[in-house]
Structure 1
Amino acid sequence: MGFEVEHEKWIQRHLTKRQGERKDALKRGHGYGNRMFAGKIWWPLMGHFIGLHPEYEVRDWRGRSYFVDFMWILGGHLFVFEIMDYGSHGKDRTKYRMDLNRGLFLQSQGCHFIAISLDELKENPSFILAMLRSILAPYLVATIEQSGNILHKFGKIERQLMRLAIRHNRVIRPSKAARELELHKQTVIKYCRRLVDKGKFRAVPAGITGRIYQYEYLGSTQSPDLI
């Protein structure tokens, strides 16, 4: 089905699920700029609205509720997209300051915060589409269920070990990893050997003895397997 049909079904699903202020916020907030983002950026990029929530309620550092334009929930990852209109965000210095503070706070809470200029969206949507495709590339190539959950090819501990290796210049020592991840050393060694078998780690022999004290991560730092 085309964008118009799917967009209408998507909005109606969210309206049906909401009540009170959350429902009113969606009716008020999903206007010209947000609809343009949905049609010119999100639909060409994704081809569906799975995991994307319009006018999503969050709380700021003071505990006060407000609504971001879009929240994309992908497994344990949260992406906030805000369409920034100069007229509403730039002329009012207090509101402008508050918007920036909210963006900083969301990032401090582990959200990926992406602000998009409405003017750029109108005049040069291909630029925004290209930038988002690049930013979201590691997540777009991951296999996703209809529910929006990632189908992992690697277990939780394996992903933790790969990410830990990247943080330590691609090298991991089981004894040190066991302390950082609060696991038994033999458990870490077991999973490191599995990653060797899967082609993600390389065992690094030491000196003339050839004993293995550390492993090297061989994959890409942007691999979807890390998610």
Structure 2
Amino acid sequence: MGFPSEHENWIRDHLKRRRGERLDALKRGHGYGNRLFIEQIWWPLAGHFHGLHPEYEVKDWRGRSYFVDFMWVVGAVRIIFEIMDFGSHGTDRTKYRRDLNRGLFLQAQDCSVYYISLDELKENPSFILSALRSILSPYLSADSGGKRMVTRCYSKIERDLMRAAIRHNRVIRPAEAARELELHTMTVIKYCRLLVDKGKFRAVARGVSGRVIYYEYVGSIQSPDLV
């Protein structure tokens, strides 16, 4: 089926499963800008709606409910897309400040948040499509219509270590990683050695003793193994 029928089925399915404020939020919120994003960006990018939730309810830093435009859940990863219209977000300074605070808080909750300009979406969708294709390529590779393309062969700790290495210029120092990930140092060393055996890390030693001082991530930063 093509985009119109798939989109209709997707929205109908969410409408059937929602009640109360969640239902009202979907009816109110899935308007012109959100539909444009779905048609011009998401469908060409993914070709399916698996794991994508419109008007998804989250909590802000005050514990109050808030509906983001889209939440894409792929494995343990949560990615948020917000379509920003200057007229509704930029003229009210208090609302503008609150929107940015929400985004910052959500990123602190291990969500990736991407703000999409409605004007850019209307005038230059190819730029947004190209940028998101580069950003989301490892997740799109790992999830194709809801079916895993590869067998999971890395534990959560291993994936956390690989992502942490990427954040720190591909370098993992066990003591620092243990503090960041709230793990015991020996646990980090154990999993780093496993990643060496799997070809994802390289142990770097110094001095005549040959003591390993850090591990280097040697995989691709867009590998589906990171998801």
Bucket of the pairwise TM-score, normalised by the shorter protein = 0.7 to 0.9
* Aligned length, in residue pairs: 226
Q: CA deviation at 1:152?
A: 2.6
Cα pair 1:56 1:70 within 8 Å, conserved: yes
In structure 2, what is the Cα distance between the partners aligned to 1:54 and 1:71?
7
Residues 164 and 218 from structure 1, CA distance in 2 versus in 1: closer, same or farther, beyond 3 angstroms?
Answer: same
Give, as a single letter, the amino acid of the residue that structure 2 aligns with 1:97.
R
Q: Point out the more displaced range, 61-70 or 124-133.
A: 61-70
What does the per-residue CA deviation read over 1:151-205, in whole Å, with 9 as the maximum and x for residues that have no partner? 53322333244345445654556677678763473x6555444333322223445
Percent of aligned positions with the same letter in both sequences?
69
User: For residues 167 and 68 of structure 1, what CA distance do their matches in structure 2 show?
Assistant: 26
C-alpha distance in 2, partners of 1:99/1:188?
A: 37
What aligned pairs does 1:32-111 form with structure 2 within 5 A after superposition? 32-111=32-111
Instruction: Show the counterpart of 2:219.
Output: 219
Q: 1:145 to 1:181 in 2, by over 3 A?
A: farther
Distance 1:148 1:69 in 2: 26
Between structure 1 and structure 2, the one with the greater Rg is 1
Query: Where does 1:6-45 land on structure 2 (aligned, <5 Å)?
Result: 6-45=6-45
Residues 86 and 148 of structure 1: CA distance in aligned 2, closer, same or farther (over 3 Å): farther
Residues 45-73 of structure 1, C-alpha deviations (whole Å, 9 max, x = no match) = 00000111011111222222121111111
Output one character per residue of 1:110-161: Cα deviation in whole Å (capped at 9) or x when no partner.
2211111111111111111111112212322224572789953322333244
Going from structure 1 to structure 2, the CA distance change for 1:60 and 1:149 (only over 3 Å counts) comes to farther
TM-score, length of structure 1 as denominator length: 0.82
Superposition pairs for residues 68-217 of structure 1, below 5 Å? 68-143=68-143, 146=146, 152-166=152-166, 170-172=170-172, 182-183=183-184, 185=186, 191-204=191-204, 207-208=207-208, 215-217=215-217
SS of the residue corresponding to residue 50 of structure 1 reads coil
Q: TM-score, normalised by structure 2?
A: 0.82
Give the AA of the match of 2:225.
D
Task: Find the aligned partners of 1:155 and 1:217 in 2 and give their Cα distance.
Answer: 16
Distance (Å, rounded) in 1 between the aligned partners of 2:76 and 2:182: 19
Q: Does the 8 A contact of 1:144 with 1:150 survive in 2?
A: no
SS class of match (2:158) = helix
My pick for the range that moved more, 63-72 or 197-206, is: 197-206
Q: 1:18 to 1:148 in 2, by over 3 A?
A: farther
Amino acid at match of 2:122: K
Provide closer, same or farther for how the CA distance between residues 64 and 147 of structure 1 changes in structure 2, counting only shifts above 3 A.
farther
* Long gaps (5+) in structure 1: none
In 2, Cα distance between the equivalents of 1:92 and 1:161? 41
Amino acid at match of 1:195: L
Higher mean C-alpha deviation, range 42-51 or range 126-135:
126-135
Q: 1:88 offset after TM fit, Å?
A: 1.7
> Residues 57 and 67 of structure 1 are in contact (CA less than 8 Å); yes or no, is this contact kept in structure 2?
yes
Change in Cα spacing, 1:173 to 1:23, as seen in structure 2 (3 Å) is: closer
CA RMSD between the two structures: 3.0
